[in-house]
Chains A and B, each alone.
Chain A
Amino acid sequence: MRQLSVILLFLFAFSPALSDDVESVVAKLSQTSVSLTTGFAGSKLSVYGAIKGVGDEDHNLQAIVTVTGPSAPLEVRKKVRTAGIWINGRGVRVESAPSFYAVATTGPIRDIITHTDELRFRIGLDHVIQLVDAPNWVNDREEYRRAVARVRADEGLYSVRNDTVDLIDGALLLTEIDLPANLVEGDYEARIFLLRDMRVIDVFSDTIEVRRAGIGRIIYWGAREYPALYGVLSIVVALIAGWLASAFFRTFFPN
């Protein structure tokens, strides 16, 4: 059932309404791949866009840029006070939540896009965190959804920043998106929505490949694929380090 609705949504999304208007947007991202090396300390993604087919006096265009990281299910637990201490309560499964989600706009979302289009294109935190089947004991489902948004925002992984997209003469689009150091691996989708009269008139999308690189990649791969060997190697490295230190000190600082 949900699949069907997704398909319908897509049909809706690319219905003729989009092509009726002449304006369209093309863009270039400053990077389409990010390497998570051990030295990775976050990065900035610049988006340069051009709007084609602008009418003479028509400068009423707005834009929304989103970057969405790979989605995964989550479990959310609320701390409850039991016998004086705070312990994790029962888990609520969130079907899907992006590991990263950044929204940049030319103005307050409410003022530049209709609620219908927000839903249709799944723009904004309310629409990317899917919590469909909350268990019966949950009184306030929204509370859990908001918690995901809040916790991830605190970690710098979710952000909604209004007025951070520059639209110059309705022809040139510029914005920057912060990619924090705690990114996870995966394909990130950057989308640019061009809007007029609160309706989406064109969408541009591109993919950013975020991958572990260097030593970190080898270590991660080893830990997953050959856990026993990885464990043994970890111990061997530890023993060598311990022995080296002991030998070094015995040689240079005999007591």
Chain B
Amino acid sequence: MNIYLPIAEVSVNALVLIGLGGGVGFLSGIFGVGGGFLMTPLLIFIGIPPAVAVATEANQIVASSFSGVLSHLRRKTVDIRMGLVLLSGGLAGSAIGVQIFALLRSLGQVDLVVALCYVIFLGAIGSLMFVESLSALRKAQRGGGRITRRRHTWVQGLPFRMRFRASNLYISAIPPFGVGLLVGILAAIMGVGGGFIMVPAMIYLLGMAVTVVVGTSLFQIMFVTGATTLMHAIINQTVDGVLAVILLVGGVVGTQIGVRVAPRLKAEQLRILLAVLVLMVCAKLGYDLVSEPDEFFVLVQGSGGH
């Protein structure tokens, strides 16, 4: 069942899109990651122009994260205060990111920078996650008690301290703002929510209580991707409504299933699986960058300047 996408100007199989949306949404529900880091490259692999993939994926993440946030709000596992600090950074970052994206587009280097960002971030996060969960798994098998992680780092020494009750923290607002800013920039350039960076950062860098990490991350992602969608729509006009709706249908349903299934799954094993998945996408993108291309030439429509 092929469908012609009006903004992307390509024809793709709708069932493949729904399947992708569902699968990625499922992961998103389990791990509290937007899933964009998988979806955007997958969309590019099936032939959607990168500029459209990035902008439209941001729109899809709005839906899946909103759906997730509603569930988390009901369980009171969102630290709204922390979410707002992350968000203020995120919005600033998103504004910067969309401008960078527009600049890259006019330079004809979007594909390269998007791919490079993916390789770097997916590689780093994937490896970290893999090593972490592997050692956690080993500890669990040995029957050792779970280690509590409350390290005192440079983060504790900064000014503008705020109390985040739900996260059980009293820290400076600068690190969460910084995390939000970085994630906002990435959201705009990579078409991701940034959960895959934010979640580890919240746990390991900020030391937040693990129970509120996922909900708070989704809370921030929802607003940042919303802002990103709006800015891409205005500046780059690359949000494909038809593509977004098809992805949404699969995505929101997948997320809901994921949220429900998550508590019954063995988190550490799943985390390894996610890490492997992340590393695979990273490897594929990295391989494409270094291997000799079949076609040495690329055509860019319009040739900028208008």
Complex CA distance for A94 and B300, rounded to whole angstroms: 10
Instruction: Kindly report which residue of chain B lies nearest to residue A85, judged by CB atoms.
Output: B289
Q: Which of B64-72, B121-129, B144-152 contacts A (4 or more CB under 8 A)?
A: B64-72
B108 contact from A36, A75, A152, Cβ within 8 A: A75
Contacts of A57-72 to chain B: CB distance below 8 A: 72
> Does B94 have its Cβ within 8 Å of any Cβ on chain A?
no
Asked if B108 and A91 make an inter-chain contact with CB atoms under 8 angstroms apart, the answer reads yes
Instruction: Kindly report which residue of chain A lies nearest to residue B303, judged by CB atoms.
Output: A75
B109 contact from A36, A88, A215, A228, Cβ within 8 A: A88
Q: Tally of A-B residue pairs with Cβ under 8 A? A: 201
Contacts of B235-256 to chain A: CB distance below 8 A: 237, 239-242, 244-245, 248-249, 252-253, 255-256
A245 contact from B256, B290, B293, Cβ within 8 A: B256
A220 contact from B6, B64, B108, B295, Cβ within 8 A: B6
> Does B161 have its Cβ within 8 Å of any Cβ on chain A?
no
- Residues of the B chain whose Cβ atoms lie less than 8 Å from the Cβ of A37: 4
- Residues of the B chain whose Cβ atoms lie less than 8 Å from the Cβ of A237: 63, 241, 244-245, 248
> Does A39 have its Cβ within 8 Å of any Cβ on chain B?
yes
> Does A199 have its Cβ within 8 Å of any Cβ on chain B?
no
From residue A83, how far is it (CB to closest CB) to chain B in Å?
10
- Number of B interface residues in the complex (CB < 8 A): 62
- Residues of the B chain whose Cβ atoms lie less than 8 Å from the Cβ of A151: 295, 297-299
Asked if B296 and A238 make an inter-chain contact with CB atoms under 8 angstroms apart, the answer reads no
Asked if A235 and B6 make an inter-chain contact with CB atoms under 8 angstroms apart, the answer reads no
Asked if A72 and B301 make an inter-chain contact with CB atoms under 8 angstroms apart, the answer reads yes
Instruction: Kindly report which residue of chain B lies nearest to residue A219, judged by CB atoms.
Output: B241
With contact pairs A74-B301, A147-B296, A237-B248 given, residues A38 and B242 touching in the complex (Cβ less than 8 Å): yes
Asked if A181 and B11 make an inter-chain contact with CB atoms under 8 angstroms apart, the answer reads yes
Asked if B230 and A228 make an inter-chain contact with CB atoms under 8 angstroms apart, the answer reads yes
> Does A79 have its Cβ within 8 Å of any Cβ on chain B?
yes
* Number of chain A interface residues as a range: 35 or more
- Residues of the A chain whose Cβ atoms lie less than 8 Å from the Cβ of B217: none
Complex CA distance for A4 and B9, rounded to whole angstroms: 36
A231 contact from B71, B239, B249, B295, Cβ within 8 A: B239
A246 contact from B239, B256, B301, Cβ within 8 A: B256
Contacts of B253-306 to chain A: CB distance below 8 A: 253, 255-257, 260, 289-293, 295-304
18 A-B residue pairs with Cβ-Cβ distance under 8 Å, sorted by A, are A41-B2, A75-B304, A79-B293, A85-B289, A87-B109, A151-B297, A151-B298, A215-B6, A219-B242, A223-B241, A230-B233, A232-B230, A234-B230, A237-B248, A241-B67, A245-B253, A245-B256, A250-B71
Interface residue ranges, B against A (CB under 8 Å): 2-7, 9-11, 59-60, 62-68, 70-71, 108-109, 111-112, 116, 226, 229-234, 237, 239-242, 244-245, 248-249, 252-253, 255-257, 260, 289-293, 295-304
Interface residue ranges, A against B (CB under 8 Å): 36-42, 72-79, 84-88, 91, 93-94, 144, 147-148, 150-152, 154, 181-182, 184, 212, 215-217, 219-220, 222-224, 227-228, 230-232, 234-235, 237-239, 241-246, 248-250, 253, 255
10 additional A-B pairs beyond A79-B296, A216-B242, beta carbons within 8 Å, are A74-B301, A74-B303, A75-B302, A88-B109, A147-B295, A216-B6, A224-B237, A237-B244, A242-B62, A245-B67
